Amino acid sequence: MTNKLVGQIFQLKDRVYKKAHTATTFSNERIYGHVTEVVKEKNKIGRAFYYYWIKHEGTGKLSKHAQHRLAAAPLTPS
């Protein structure tokens, strides 16, 4: 039995944050940013995976993250 395909979740300019990679809940250091580019890559059997280039808020640093490591973040009030 295979898992249901998810597809692309986030769009350009969506505000997201990087989920913690551990099971601990005490870490409040989330990385917030905006999606600048979507990359669709395929593995050797042809299944698609989505990666996103994120521009970090505050620092402006760019980093690439897998879709399962990101979650939607509410927009900040302007």
Task: Show the domain range for 67.
Answer: 15-72
Nearest C-alpha neighbor of 57 from the set 7, 5, 13, 9: 13
Report the alpha-carbon distance of residue 10 to residue 7 in Å, rounded.
10
Output the CA–CA distances (angstroms, integers) from residue 43 to 32, 39, 53, in the order listed: 28, 13, 19
Task: Profile the chain (78 residues) by mean pLDDT over runs of 10 residues.
Answer: 81 93 67 96 92 95 95 80
Instruction: Supply the pLDDT for residue 50.
Output: 96
- For every residue of 17-35, DSSP letters joined together read EEPPSSS-S-----EEEEE
Q: Is 60 a domain residue?
A: yes
Q: Is 29 a domain residue?
A: yes
Q: Is 5 a domain residue?
A: no
Domain count of the chain? 1
Q: Is 41 a domain residue?
A: yes
